[in-house]
Amino acid sequence: MSISSFLSPKLPFYPSPKLLSTRLTFSSSSTVCCLSVNRPSTNETTGLRVVITAGGTAGHISPALAIGDELKSANPSTQILFIGFPNSMESTTIPSAGFNFSSISTVGSSSSRPFLYLNSIFQFPLKLIQSTFESYKLLQDFKPQIVVGTGGHASFPVCFAAVILRLNLVIQEQDSIPGTTNWILSFFADTIFAPFNCTVTNLPQRVASKCVVYGNPIRQVLRRFVSKGAARVGFFGQWSGAVVDAKVVLVLGGSLGANAINIALLNCYSEVLCEHENWFFVWQTGVEAFDEMDSLVKSHPRLFLSPFLRSVGVAYAAADLVISRAGAMTCSEILALGKPSILIPSPHSDEGDQIRNASLMADIVGSKLITEEELDTITLRAAMEEILGNEELMTEMSARAFNAAKPDAALDVANHIISIVKSEDNSKPRSIQQPPSKSKYCETNLMCHGLQKSCEHILYLEPLLCSDNIIGFSVVMDTLRFELSSVSLTSTAFTASSLHSHSRTSFSSVRVSRVNSSPAIGAVVKTTVNEICTADELHYVPVPNSDWRAALWRYLPSSKGPKRKHPLLLLSGIATNAFTYDLSPEFSFARFMSGLGFDTWILELRGAGLSSLNLDKDLETDKQQIVSDLLENFINVSERIENALDGGFKILGMQDRLSKSVVDFKERLELIPHYNWDFDNYLEEDIPSAMEYVRSQTKPKDGKLLAIGHSMGGILLYALLSRCGLKGTDSGLASVTTLAATLDYSCSGTLLKYLLPVKDPAQAMNLSALPIDTILAMIHPLMCRPPYALSWLTTNISAPQMMDPEVIEKLVLKTLCTVPVKLLLQLATAMDHRGLRDRTGTFYYKDHISKTNVPILALAGDWDIVCPPDAVYDTVKMIPEHLATFKVVGSPGGPHYGHQDLISGRTARSEVYPLILRFLEEHDEN
């Protein structure tokens, strides 16, 4: 019978990548930069240091342990550190196997899909960042020469940290269809160990050259000789040896258990044991199902019940027949140990890989395949009796399994890992300790000599690059790129974005400016032609007690409109910029108002849009170097991502978004330590300075402004009125219009309550900022394109059919910004009883809004689930009745208005804008 190529050991395998034999090093003085070739000593791998990461299920943990066993056998002085999640299977299994184990913060369970749930969408990135930084620190401390990942959620942050640190990275996949973690990591790994030839074809085509097919690593403990009789005594005692022609059935439902198998066996085990007095059962129920099974299964001398078999090698040795799921590792173990089997594939496995495994096992070794739909007491019992009652069949199945097995896969993988570390050079320079420092490659102080000196080095190296003993141009440029990143933070002519050439425009990133090169504080910048600012003028105003400058977009009043007495100031929501009010010519609230004669200003608070940070050139050198190192490492990672994407591979059209997000992140990386303000800082510093600046530019006779605030912008206006009311001071406002805003969400059904769990990981990680723009930009394709996994998020922004898809796309991709965690934590108090509090936690803004003397128009959308109408009314009812006007926009038959529709909805221009206009005109005249 022909053997399927899926498991055949006779097929040609993909060759391993060629290992280079030279190492590139730099030596220099202030004027000389040269190349040399170093040859490492032959004992370089003495005391080999390896990090192995795996987690979730035994299918990921077992091959990791197998590789660790072989590395230890090859060199007993090898130091191995396993990294995984705490309170997980790996946290107990790995230490019990004799290996050192360190834990990182949990990202997600083995079966979770965090992007499908609202809470997880925002928690998952925070947890991933936290676990990656923890992995980064562990790798720096342990200083491994290579990192090995075998899949599972726990392996991703560790492997990604290895990529950032530029360590050797290899991954081992167990299935014919790669898991999500390994599929992503395949772009970054230096070598991919695949179990089958078809695994390679199911990976991206561009990574096939990095694949080596060795089979699945099986632990040494499984292959050690244990006599069948001794193994049975361990489970059933000495008397089991006296049973004539004893047959042992090993039941494995996977490390987490299989309810279908447990139930089918539960209904027949007693009768089977009574009718077949020579049958024994070793039954692994799975950890989650053990308590229930233990309470239902009656004790029997020929039945051994266990939640998880830590000595599974002994169990295999005792077994004549294995009943199991069809995971890739279980199938590999059955082949290596030559066991007849009944396979019941899980119908819930990703891409149906278990059904595929079971089908191929049936073809290759004659395993009995029972689908879960077919599984019941009768079919299971019949299959057991068919196999155990036929010695010839059992012998044939065992022989076929041995012939198809690859028992030395673990040894082959271990030897390949050792060869990588022993190789005299890799395809790029690496550091096993930390990101490369300037002193390692070039002693010239580029931060002193600047960009010009860096260019001289490149020119000096150019003729050498043609020499035969040079590894390659890309290696040199990879090294020099780090040098240039150090310069970028001290040179006004070389910014972070210059390190990686992009033609894309960044719309939401904050601008970095230097003290000696930024526009004068309070200066006006004309922007008649500008890809970003669509206003007539762009102004900057300094924010007191900070290095930030808020941006003010000015829309000059139309000469055709009536003359107005007061300027109009617009405030947008949290994490949004001026585009909220100016998404397109058809949906531009700012242009609408300026066309009717209002001198209209949109305030971009610090950290939003075109606001800028004045950085002193005399920042501490060590802090600059930390940022520089991080920047270089993220550049390296982002380039590899973009190289993969630019090569023709696209996921749901995410290429442009990923590229934009990477560029924005690199531009903002230097700013993150400066995201240290809260809501009260906005209220005490940004708003007053902006209002004073607008007054100085427009000179209203009574010194007052008209103000409109959407979402957090409205909350800021409410809070300003509350404080002024308490103090008895003039707010400087002629009227206030709030759109979808309140000081108290506690009694409403707001969707924001489901985001409160974000606080915990943010506080635990001591994060400065949350990149909301990057998160939403990355998941946007899942909101608006097949398979529409996150399409429900769109309804949180807009009611159905109220905003064009192009407008929603611009709203998500171009208006959002990074938000300080301190700001989020203070705004979260609005969900508590009595509503928003100040930073001391003692002043409740809602309690004093009744003392205002400013007329207020409060509008709510009838379908707004972010700030529902009842939440808006909860604040309005506290305002003196003669000053408050409250209206819910929308009608039962439609149109309906969601959170953003009050500004950008299809019918907002005809239904909402006139309401606001009448209110403004009334109080502009008064």
Which own/partner pairs from 782-791 qualify as long-range (CB within 8 Å, at least 24 positions apart)? 782/115, 782/652, 783/812, 784/808, 784/809, 785/652, 785/653, 786/652, 789/115, 789/116, 790/115, 790/116, 790/121
Alpha carbon 620 to its chain's center: 31
Q: Which of the listed residues 363, 381, 406 is the one where a domain comes to its end? A: 406
Range of the structural domain that residue 342 is part of: 222-406
Query: In terms of domains, do 143 and 252 share one?
Result: no
Cβ neighbours around 586 below 10 Å, total = 11
* Beta carbons of 543 and 549 less than 8 angstroms apart: yes
- Per-residue three-class SS string for 417-451: HHHHHHCCCCCCCCCCCCCCCHHHHCCCCHHHHHH
Burial class (CB within 10 angstroms; exposed 0-12, middle 13-18, buried 19+) of 742: buried
Query: In terms of domains, do 351 and 395 share one?
Result: yes
| Token pair listed for 435 | 């990101």
What is the distance between the alpha carbons of residues 656 and 646, in angstroms, rounded to a whole number? 10
Q: Which of the listed residues 406, 427, 462 is the one where a domain comes to its end? A: 406
| Token pair listed for 305 | 């019940």
- The pLDDT tens digits of the residues spanning 546-560 come to 889 999 999 999 999
* 334 domain residue, yes or no: yes
pLDDT at 179: 83
Query: In terms of domains, do 200 and 278 share one?
Result: no
* 325 domain residue, yes or no: yes
**858 conformational bin, left if phi > 0, alpha if psi -120 to 50, beta if neither:** beta
Spell out, as residue ranges, where the chain has pLDDT lower than 70.
1-46, 108-123, 125-126, 225, 242, 254-257, 349-351, 424-531, 615-673, 754-768, 771-795
Query: In terms of domains, do 801 and 868 share one?
Result: yes
Give every CB contact of residue 156 below 8 A, 6+ residues apart in sequence.
Answer: 107, 128, 149, 181, 184, 185
* 32 domain residue, yes or no: no
* 198 domain residue, yes or no: yes
Query: In terms of domains, do 168 and 232 share one?
Result: no
Query: In terms of domains, do 277 and 196 share one?
Result: no
What is the distance between the alpha carbons of residues 516 and 822, in angstroms, rounded to a whole number? 30
**267 conformational bin, left if phi > 0, alpha if psi -120 to 50, beta if neither:** alpha
Residue 863, beta-bridge partner list: none
Give every CB contact of residue 698 below 8 A, 6+ residues apart in sequence.
Answer: 567, 599
Query: In terms of domains, do 285 and 194 share one?
Result: no
State how beta strands 524-526 and 537-542 pair. antiparallel
Query: In terms of domains, do 207 and 276 share one?
Result: no
State how beta strands 769-770 and 819-820 pair. antiparallel
Query: In terms of domains, do 74 and 129 share one?
Result: yes
* Beta carbons of 14 and 211 less than 8 angstroms apart: yes
Tell whether the torsion through CA atoms of 149, 154, 160 and 162 is positive or negative: negative
Q: Which of 433, 469, 545 is nearest to 166 (CA)?
A: 433
Query: In terms of domains, do 191 and 235 share one?
Result: no
Give every CB contact of residue 85 below 8 A, 6+ residues apart in sequence.
Answer: 55, 91, 103, 104, 105, 106, 107, 153, 154
Residue 814 belongs to a domain with what CATH number? 3.40.50.1820
* 382 domain residue, yes or no: yes
Query: In terms of domains, do 761 and 881 share one?
Result: yes
Domain total in the chain: 3
| Token pair listed for 115 | 């992007």
For the chain, the distance separating the N- and C-terminal CA atoms, rounded to the nearest angstrom, is 96
pLDDT at 622: 43
What is the distance between the alpha carbons of residues 620 and 624, in angstroms, rounded to a whole number? 6
Give every CB contact of residue 785 below 8 A, 6+ residues apart in sequence.
Answer: 652, 653
| Token pair listed for 416 | 């390949």
pLDDT at 581: 92
What is the distance between the alpha carbons of residues 860 and 617, in angstroms, rounded to a whole number? 47
What is the distance between the alpha carbons of residues 388 and 97, in angstroms, rounded to a whole number? 33
* Beta carbons of 147 and 139 less than 8 angstroms apart: yes
Residue 377: what residue type?
T
* 485 domain residue, yes or no: no
Query: In terms of domains, do 550 and 695 share one?
Result: yes
pLDDT at 610: 86
Strand ranges for 461-617 from DSSP E: 511-514, 524-526, 537-542, 548-555, 568-571, 600-604, 612-615
What is the distance between the alpha carbons of residues 189 and 212, in angstroms, rounded to a whole number? 12
Q: Which of the listed residues 150, 177, 212 is the one where a domain comes to its end? A: 212
* Beta carbons of 358 and 345 less than 8 angstroms apart: yes
What is the distance between the alpha carbons of residues 134 and 164, in angstroms, rounded to a whole number? 13
What is the distance between the alpha carbons of residues 63 and 226, in angstroms, rounded to a whole number? 21
What is the distance between the alpha carbons of residues 369 and 129, in angstroms, rounded to a whole number? 43
State how beta strands 341-343 and 368-369 pair. parallel
What is the distance between the alpha carbons of residues 490 and 449, in angstroms, rounded to a whole number? 11
Tell whether the torsion through CA atoms of 430, 432, 435 and 437 is positive or negative: negative
* 455 domain residue, yes or no: no
* 458 domain residue, yes or no: no
DSSP string, 787-854: T-TTGGGHHHHS-TTSS-HHHHHHHHHHSB--EEHHHHHHHGGGGSTT--B-TTS--BGGGGGGG--S
Cβ neighbours around 39 below 10 Å, total = 11
pLDDT at 42: 40
Residue 366 belongs to a domain with what CATH number? 3.40.50.2000
